[in-house]
Amino acid sequence: MPARPHVSVSMYKRMPSKDGTNSVDLEDDSGKSLNTYHLSSAYIWMVVNEPLESISHDLGFNGNSLAEGLVVSTCLGGAFIGSLFSGWIADEFGRRRTFQLCALPMVIGASCSATTNNLSGMLLGRFIVGIGLGIGPPVASLYITEVSPPSVRGTYGSFIQISTCLGLLGALLIGIPVKSIPGWWRICFWLSTIPATLLALAMIFCVESPHWLYKRGRNTEAEVEFQKLLGPANVRSAMAELLNSDRGDENDTVKISELVHGRYFRVVFIGSTLFALQQLSGINAIFYFSSTVFRSAGVSSNLANAFVGIVNLFGSLIALLLMDKLGRKVLLQWSFFGMAVSTVFQVFAADLFSSTSGAFYLSVSGMLMFVFSFAIGAGPVPGLLLSEIFPGRIRAKAMAFCMSVHWVFNFMVGLLFLRLLESMGPQLLYAMLGTFCLVGVAFVKRNVMETKGKTLQEIEIALLPQE
C-alpha cells in the first residue's frame, strides 16, 4: 500500500465558489489526522491477536482461555466507558481537543501493556487503551460530517473504514515475527504508541469544527474556520445554514431522557438499531473464526487473516467510490443482503458437504463474501449516516449513546459466539446471523432516508417533527 493514501491531499482542495470560480487551495491536515486515529485504533485493538500465545506464555497464563479472552475483550469494557463520556467531552472541549485527549489513554495503556510482567498489568493497560478507543469513533464521525461539504461527505466518511483496514493489516504484518523473536509482542505494543502520539501532535494543525464554535457563541472563529475549509466566497452561506439549523437552542443542555423519548427518539432509535444490527450480523465473530476455518484445510492463520484483510480493504475502496454516487441507503441494503446470502453458503457448507473439500471452498467463499459485503455498507455507513441525521444540538451526545450500544452488542457477540457455535451447531447459528442481516435489509428500507448530497439542515427538516 502507498505510504500516503488519497487523504494525503487536503480535505478541501478546491471548493467551487458561488460565482463558479475556484477558491484558493486550502491545505488542511484534518483528513490525515483522522486517518492516523483510525489506523492507530484498529492496530491497537487487533495487536494482541497474533502475539496472544506468546503473551500468555511470558506472563504465566498459558492455557487459561478465560484470561486470554479477557486480554482481548477488556478493551471493549474500556471502550464502552469511553463512549459514554465522548459526547460530553466533545461538547465541552471541542472536536479537535477531544482527539488529543483520546490519544492520551491510548499511549498510556499501550505503554503499560508493553512493560507489564503480569496479567493484571496487561488487563489494566488494555482497559485504559479501550477508553481512548471508545472516545474517538463518535467524535470522528461527527467531525467529518461537520467539516465536509454535502457532495463529498460520504467519500470522506469512507476514509474511516479504509484507515481501519490498514490498521488491521498493519497489526497482522507486525505480529508475524512474534513466534521467532522472543519478546516481540512488547515491540508490537510500543509501536502502537507512535501513531497515537502523531495524532495528538497533528491535531494542533487541524481546523476546529465551525459547528461547535458556533454552538459556543464563538461566531467569529467559526467564520475563520469556514474560510479555511470552504474559501471566502462560501462563508456567508455556511454561517446562514448554521443559523437556520441551530437557532434558539445552541446553549441548551441535552439530557439523556431527550434521546430516548420525545422529538429525537426516532433518529436515536434508527442509529442505535443500525449499530445493533451491525454487530448482530456477527461480523466480529466472522473475523475471529476465519483463522479456524482456514486452518482446518491446512492454511496458515497468517495467510487466512491476510485474505480477510485484503478483501475488507477492497470492499472499503469500493464503498469510497460509491458512497456519494449510489448513496448510503442503497449501499446499506445491498450490504446486509449480501451478508445474508453469504451465511447461506456457510449453512450449506456445514450441512451438505461437511466431509468434502467442497465444504472448505464454499465456507471460505461465503466468509470472504460476508466480509466484502460488510465493507461496502454495514461497516462504513452507520457511523457516517448517524452523524448526518442527528441535529447539531444532540449530535455529539447522540453519537456517544449509539456508540455505547455498539460496544455492548460487540461484547455480547464476542462473548457468546463460540459457545453458541458449540451448542447450536454452525447451521443454526449461521441461519440466525443471516436472519439478523435480513432484518437489517427490511429495517433500512423502512426507516433510513437517503442523505446523499443533502445539507444537514435539509436532513433535520425531513426527519424531525417541527416545533
**Is the pLDDT higher at 83 or at 295?**
83
285 and 176 housed in the same domain: no
For residue 289, count CB atoms less than 10 angstroms from its CB and return exposed for 0-12, middle for 13-18, buried for 19 or more: middle
3-class SS of residue 418:
helix
Helix axes 381-389, 456-463, angle to 10 degrees: 80
Please check whether residue 461 lies inside any domain of the structure: yes
The residue from 144, 176, 207 where one domain ends is: 207
Same domain, 191 and 318: no
Q: How many CB atoms lie within 10 A of CB 28?
A: 19
* 383 falls within a domain: yes
Is the confidence at residue 18, as pLDDT, over 50? no
- DSSP-assigned letters across all residues of 220-255: HHHHHHHHHHH-GGGHHHHHHHHHHHHTT-TTPPPP
Contacts of 205 (CB under 8 A, 6+ apart): 29, 33
Residue 154 is inside which H or E element, if any?
A: helix 153-175
pLDDT at 149 over 80: no
232 assigned to some structural domain: no
Closest among 262, 311, 274, 263 to 385, alpha carbons compared: 274
Same domain? 305 vs 440: yes
The residue with greater pLDDT, 145 or 88, is: 88
H, E, C per residue of 166-191: HHHHHHHHHHHHHHCCCCHHHHHHHH
- Together in a domain, 297 and 178: no
pLDDT of 291 higher than 80: no
Q: Is 372 within 8 Å of 432 (Cβ atoms)?
A: no
| Count of beta carbons in the 10 Å neighbourhood of residue 408 | 16
Which amino acid is residue 369, in one-letter code?
Answer: M
Given the C-alpha cell 469544527, which residue does it identify?
Answer: 209
Q: Tell me the whole-structure pTM to 2 decimals.
A: 0.74
Phi (first) and psi of residue 415, to 5 degrees: -75, -40
* Packing angle, helices 357-373 and 283-295, rounded to 10: 150
Residue 35, all three cell numbers: 486517518
The pLDDT value recorded for residue 253 is 66
**Does residue 260 share a domain with residue 198?**
no
Q: Provide the residue range defining the domain that includes 33.
A: 22-207
Does a structural domain hold residue 243?
no
| 180 plus 300 within the same structural domain | no
Close Cβ partners of 85 (under 8 Å, ≥ 6 residues apart): 135, 400
Confidence of residue 250 (pLDDT cuts 50, 70, 90): very low
Q: Residue range 273-297: average pLDDT?
A: 75
Each residue of 159-190: pLDDT tens digit? 777 777 777 778 777 887 887 888 899 999 99
Same domain flag for 109 and 52? yes
Q: What digits encode the pLDDT tens for the residues 46-99?
A: 777 778 888 888 998 887 777 877 887 788 889 889 988 888 888 888 888 898
Please answer whether residues 281 and 362 qualify as being in contact, where contact means their C-beta atoms are separated by less than 8 angstroms. no
Determine contact, residues 338/365, Cβ cutoff 8 Å.
no
Q: Kindly state whether residue 225 falls inside one of the protein's structural domains.
A: no
Residue 17 binned pLDDT confidence (cut-offs 50, 70, 90): very low
Mean pLDDT for all residues in the chain:
78
Is the pLDDT assigned to residue 25 strictly greater than 60? no
Task: Find the mean pLDDT for residues 229-258.
Answer: 69
Q: Are residues 109 and 191 in the same domain?
A: yes
Task: Dihedral sign for Cα 203, 204, 208, 212, please.
Answer: positive
Q: Read off the C-alpha cell for 455.
A: 445539507
Whether residue 230 lies inside any domain: the answer is no
Position 142 pLDDT exceeds 80: no
Residues 281 and 191 in one domain: no
22 phi/psi in degrees, rounded to 5: -90, 140
Q: What angle do CA 227, 324, 381 make, to 5 degrees?
A: 100
Q: What angle do CA 314, 350, 423 make, to 5 degrees?
A: 105
422 Cβ contact partners less than 8 Å away, ≥ 6 residues apart: none
Q: Are residues 271 and 166 in the same domain?
A: no
Angle between the N-to-C axes of helices 265-280 and 395-424, in degrees from 0 to 180, rounded to the nearest 10? 30
Does residue 322 have a pLDDT over 80?
yes
* Residue 36 belongs to some domain of the structure: yes
Q: How many domains in the chain?
A: 2
C-alpha cell at 285: 465473530
Which is more confident, 463 or 382? 382
| 297 and 414 fall within a common domain | yes
> Tell me: the pLDDT tens digits for 413-437?
877 776 777 788 878 888 899 999 9
- Domain identity same for 203 and 267: no
The stretch 91-110 carries a mean pLDDT of: 89
Q: What is the CATH number of the domain that holds 361?
A: 1.20.1250.20
What is the 8-class DSSP label of residue 36?
H
Give Cβ neighbours of residue 217 (< 8 Å, ≥ 6 apart).
250, 251
Residue for grid cell 439549523 = 245
**pLDDT confidence of residue 251:** 46
| Domain presence at residue 357 | yes
Is the separation of the CB atoms in 110 and 413 below 8 Å?
Answer: no
